[in-house]
Each structure stands twice: as structure tokens, then as C-alpha cells.
Structure 1
Amino acid sequence: MKTREDLLKSPAYWLTDVQIEVFNLLNSYMEENNLTQKQVAEKLNVSPSYVSQILNGNFNFTISKLIELALLVGKAPIIKFETIEQILNAEAAQVQAESKSRKKKIASLNSPVSNISVS
């Protein structure tokens, strides 16, 4: 079985991650603006089949097309590079924070209720 670190070192993982992000971005934009694939294709100066490929997750775009797409939907294409260790540490910190939050909720649910007056 692959570890989380192995997965984060896989180019296929990151390609899929970006494809999902672009799909969500484009799909939301199309829904919010009531646009068809053909209309988006015209705005990007690409074929409707290219837009279809994006929405089907079956594409590998150029950086320039990624930038055009981001700007079309009103987003800035910010790319950030982190080490695998930074990602793993951030994920561990998030899990720990969520665990503390759940424990506090459980504790508050289990504590006796006071200061409640019945009329």
C-alpha cells in the first residue's frame, strides 16, 4: 500500500488534483453565468470538444490555456510550490486541530446543563 508521502510524490496525483480544481472552477462559472460549453469555447477561442474534455477530466492543458481559463472566470492563477514535508506537516496539524475541536464539542455535549429555567 502506498503511503500519503508516496502519493504526494506522484505526478499523476498532482495532475488529477489540478484537473479537479479546473473542473470545479469552470463548472461553477458556467452554472453561475448560465453558459453552454459552446459559449465558453468561443470565449477561450477553443473547440467545444476541448471544453468537454476539461469537464470530463480528460485533458492536459498548457500553462497559457490554464491562465486564460482562470482569467476568464475572474480568478488569479496563483501557483505555489511546497515541499512534501510541508504538506504532510500542514495536514497533520489540521487533523490535530479538528480532533481537538471534536473533543471540545463532545465535552460540551456531555457536561450537565445549568442555568436553564423552566417557565
Structure 2
Amino acid sequence: MKYGSQFEKVFKEAMKSPDFWLEDIQLSFLDSLLEAMNTKNISRKELAERLGKSQAYVSKTLNACSLNLSLKTMVNFSLALGLKLTLDLEDLESPVVES
């Protein structure tokens, strides 16, 4: 994560909040999902068909308008791309932080 030194205190405080990490996970997931769609040449329309959902639902989700993704939604999107969602735990004491 990169940010200017003037924001260091704000980010350190925000990083204590579960909401910060939830949003970080969801945004990372959406980035990975879009990258996988691009790599596999899967359109939003095709993803919607694979999910059995409307194209509007998929677009809303991919545009990060609904950043309240459930784990089940994340798994469903992953499986629709032929991928398995995995979770990792990392030590909070040594996050990659650049100023």
C-alpha cells in the first residue's frame, strides 16, 4: 500500500478497523476477478449467464457499487470462472507499507 507521509497516521488508525480490512479484501477480490475475466476472455454477459444472474447484477457488483459482498457471492463468482477462492492469514505486525 502506498500513501504519502501526511496520511500515515490516518492509515495506521484506519488499519485498526475491521471495516478497513473488509473493504480491502473486497476490492482485492474484485481486482482479481476482473483480471481473471480478462485472462480467460469472459465478458460480463457470459459471467452473468454462468451465474444465472442478470447482466445488471454482475455489472453492479464488478463496478464496486455493492461493496457488501458475502463470502458466498465471492465463491459463486469464483466458481463461475472455474476458480477456487482461497483465504490467507498474514501477520499484522509486518504489513507491506510504503511511505
| Structure 1 position 24 matched with structure 2 position 28 | no
Aligned AA (1:46): K
| Structure 1 position 67 matched with structure 2 position 71 | no
Q: Which runs of no fewer than 5 residues in structure 1 stay unpaired?
A: 96-119
Secondary structure, counterpart of 1:52 in structure 2: helix
Work out which of the residue numbers 73, 91, 94 in structure 2 matches 1:90: 94
Identity %: 28
C-alpha deviation, 1:40, in angstroms: 0.4
Q: Which residue number corresponds to residue 3 of structure 2?
A: none
Once residues 23 and 38 of structure 2 are traced to their aligned partners in structure 1, the CA distance between those partners, rounded to angstroms, is 22
Once residues 48 and 21 of structure 1 are traced to their aligned partners in structure 2, the CA distance between those partners, rounded to angstroms, is 22
TM-score, with normalisation over the residues of structure 1? Answer: 0.59
Which has the higher Rg, Structure 1 or Structure 2? 1
Aligned AA (2:72): S
Q: Is the 8 A contact 2:47 2:81 kept in 1?
A: no
The structure that is helix-richer by fraction is 1
| Structure 1 position 33 matched with structure 2 position 37 | no
How many residue pairs get matched? 89
Once residues 9 and 46 of structure 1 are traced to their aligned partners in structure 2, the CA distance between those partners, rounded to angstroms, is 36
Alignment RMSD: 2.5
